[in-house]
């Protein structure tokens, strides 16, 4: 992983975003055959066990659909922790704006089969994160609606690279040089979007332990 020489490899991103509506197409480029939203894990920890909880089940427990729940979230990005009765639904989750290492590893395993440019990928990270590792050479900046991102280049496996010294902070946008797919984890969200071929999306849905739903760029955020 190293800073990119210029921001030109990212120029295509902004041209294929649609910030005019509060929908998925604001956050990930249009033009892919298929899209998926991957929910970052919610976990319910008790004295005797730890189990994953689906976002959809949290929504149903509070009398709404998943889509209604996502629309109602505050900037914290967290769904309700309790049922209306007061019973705990979940107790811990990952930070907004980053993959977990487990999810990054799962994406790596699936997506590497769907690109010809494993050794040349692009990684963009929001320039507002605190405590980020600062390279000796400043990376170029490129802009998308409401965000300024720093651009790095490396091999696909570098998605496991730590942008922060004390925690795993993933890239917020990353794609291979052949642009066969693109992954977006916005800084305000606790989920991730992937745009790719239908075959690639089917591969992920069939081989991932994560809660995920096929969507379109017009799906509400």
Share above pLDDT 70 across residues of the chain, in percent, rounded to a whole number: 98
Decide if 160 contacts 114 (C-beta within 8 A).
no
Are residues 116 and 161 part of one domain?
A: yes
Are residues 126 and 65 part of one domain?
A: no
Domain boundary residue, one of 93, 124, 156 = 93
Decide if 176 contacts 27 (C-beta within 8 A).
no
In angstroms, rounded to a whole number, what is the distance separating the alpha carbons of residues 62 and 6? 47
pLDDT tens for 22-40 read: 789 999 999 999 999 999 9
In angstroms, rounded to a whole number, what is the distance separating the alpha carbons of residues 175 and 194? 10
More confident: 125 or 136: 125
Are residues 163 and 69 part of one domain?
A: no
- The model's confidence at residue 165, banded by pLDDT at 50, 70 and 90, is confident
Are residues 89 and 99 part of one domain?
A: no
Domain boundary residue, one of 58, 75, 93 = 93
- The model's confidence at residue 69, banded by pLDDT at 50, 70 and 90, is confident
Within-domain flag for 221: no
Q: Please check the confidence at residue 166 and state whether its pLDDT lies above 90.
A: no
How many Cα atoms sit within 13 Å of 92 on the Cβ side?
7
Nearest to 210 by CA among 70, 68, 94, 64: 94
Within-domain flag for 220: no
- The model's confidence at residue 187, banded by pLDDT at 50, 70 and 90, is very high
Query: How buried is residue 191: exposed, middle or buried, by Cβ count under 10 Å (0-12/13-18/19+)?
Result: buried
Are residues 64 and 169 part of one domain?
A: no
Are residues 107 and 62 part of one domain?
A: no
In angstroms, rounded to a whole number, what is the distance separating the alpha carbons of residues 183 and 186? 10
Within-domain flag for 16: yes
Lateral strand order in the sheet of 42-45: 50-53, 42-45, 92-93
**Which residues are within 8 A (CB) of 214 and not within 5 positions of it... i.e. 6 or more apart?**
34, 35, 36, 201, 205
Predicted confidence at residue 75, as pLDDT, reads 56
The structural domain count of the chain equals: 2
Q: What is the pTM of this model?
A: 0.92
In angstroms, rounded to a whole number, what is the distance separating the alpha carbons of residues 202 and 24? 19
Are residues 81 and 9 part of one domain?
A: no
Are residues 79 and 51 part of one domain?
A: yes
In angstroms, rounded to a whole number, what is the distance separating the alpha carbons of residues 79 and 72? 9
For the segment 211-215, the average pLDDT, to the nearest whole number, is 93
Within-domain flag for 69: yes
Are residues 127 and 194 part of one domain?
A: yes
For the segment 190-211, the average pLDDT, to the nearest whole number, is 94
Domain region containing 168: 2-38+95-215
Q: Please check the confidence at residue 149 and state whether its pLDDT lies above 60.
A: yes
pLDDT tens for 71-98 read: 877 655 788 888 888 889 988 888 889 9
Within-domain flag for 11: yes
The angle subtended at Cα 30 by Cα 24 and Cα 33, nearest 5°, is 100
Q: What's the residue count for the chain?
A: 221
Report the mean per-residue pLDDT for the chain.
Answer: 90
Domain boundary residue, one of 25, 60, 93 = 93
Decide if 150 contacts 168 (C-beta within 8 A).
no
> Ramachandran region of residue 26, left (φ > 0), alpha (ψ -120 to 50) or beta?
alpha
The residue written with tokens 């190293």 in the block is 2
More confident: 178 or 96: 178
């Amino acid at each position: 992983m190293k800073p990119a020489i210029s921001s030109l490899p990212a120029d295509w991103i902004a041209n294929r975003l649609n910030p005019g509506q509060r929908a998925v197409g604001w956050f990930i480029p249009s033009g892919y055959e298929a899209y998926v939203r991957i929910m970052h894990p919610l976990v319910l920890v008790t004295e005797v066990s730890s189990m994953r909880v689906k976002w959809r089940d949290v929504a149903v427990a509070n009398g709404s659909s998943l889509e209604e729940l996502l629309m109602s979230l505050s900037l914290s990005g967290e769904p309700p922790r309790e049922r209306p009765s007061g019973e705990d639904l979940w107790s811990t989750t990952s930070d907004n704006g980053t993959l977990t290492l487990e999810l990054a590893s799962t994406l790596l395993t699936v997506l590497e089969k769907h690109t010809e440019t494993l050794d040349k990928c692009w990684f963009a990270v929001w320039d507002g994160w605190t405590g980020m590792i600062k390279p000796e050479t400043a990376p170029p900046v490129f802009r998308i609606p409401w965000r300024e991102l720093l651009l790095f280049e490396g091999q696909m496996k570098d998605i496991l690279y730590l942008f922060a010294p004390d925690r795993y902070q993933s890239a917020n946008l990353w794609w291979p040089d052949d642009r066969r797919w693109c992954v977006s984890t916005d800084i305000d969200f606790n989920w991730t979007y992937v745009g790719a071929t239908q075959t690639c999306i089917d591969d992920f849905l069939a081989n991932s332990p994560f809660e995920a739903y096929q969507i379109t760029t017009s799906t509400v955020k």
